[in-house]
Amino acid sequence: MSLNFIEAGTGRPLVILHGLLGSARNWGGIAQALGECRRVLAVDMPNHGASPWSEIMDYPFMAREVAKFLEGTAGGPVDLVGHSMGGKAAMTLALSRPDLVSRLVVVDIAPVRYAHTFAPYIKAMRAAPVGTATRRGEIEESLRGAIADSGVRAFLMQNLEGQPGSYRWRANLATLGAAMDDILDFPHFAEDSHFDGPTLFLHGEQSDYVLPAHEDVIAALFPRARLESIAGAGHWVHADRPADFIRAVAGFIG
């Protein structure tokens, strides 16, 4: 599998892994800003964006595909940033292939199982009339019945491509829906497993994804981790407070 990516800047490689139903282009502005001092590669994860589709979508699979990308295109080891699903993939990679990760930034996610399912979003997207709609507004209106938050609808609509009468979703909704249980979970690692590199857990102050109850498991797997919150940010930290996010990541990776 050859993962699609966007690139900005020159220097030591910094790789960004987006979250569920996101894409590399969601991170274009962040990549350009961090690209002032680094070679930034924002990746389309499998079954997302312009990357290939697969019937598998668990974290060991994602970590293996990203590892191939780091060894080939990025020329690893790299500094690695992962948000949400991408953060779990990044943690899985750091724990299984620490030779490929110098520094790790995990954005608004912990190495635990969640109940924060995106299944209703995927169901609404699959029910939308993408093949017959004559304008994008019809599809967003279809989503409105199941998704009240306009910000979430706008985020999901970034997955839409095509022309009137033949729109399509860029994400592989069938596989993502079927793999939701794996996406909510986190792989089991042996008790002595840990990543010894510097690690930043960066979370939104208004998000409930990283809680004090998660600190012990974070410390066990990532003994050099520090936790930092971004004021006024929810789960999509980089979109809610981009300047603060860029400052925190740039300060951590040097």
Banded model confidence at residue 105, pLDDT cuts 50, 70, 90: very high
CA angle, residues 3, 75, 237, in degrees to nearest 5: 60
Q: What is the mean pLDDT of the chain?
A: 96
Low-confidence winner among 106-115, 144-153, 209-218 (lowest mean pLDDT): 144-153
Chain segment 179-229, per-residue pLDDT in tens: 999 999 999 999 899 999 999 999 999 999 999 999 999 999 999 999 999
Is the per-residue pLDDT at 145 higher than 90? no
Tell me the three state secondary structure of residue 149: coil
Taking the C-alpha atoms of residue 6 and residue 16, their distance in angstroms, rounded to an integer, is 10
Comparing C-alpha atoms, which of 54, 37, 46 is closest to residue 18?
46
The pLDDT of residue 130: 95
Q: What is the pTM of this model?
A: 0.96
Overall average pLDDT of the 162-170 stretch: 95
Q: How far is CA 122 from CA 9, 166, 172, in A?
A: 34, 19, 10
CA angle 4, 6, 57 (to 5 degrees): 35
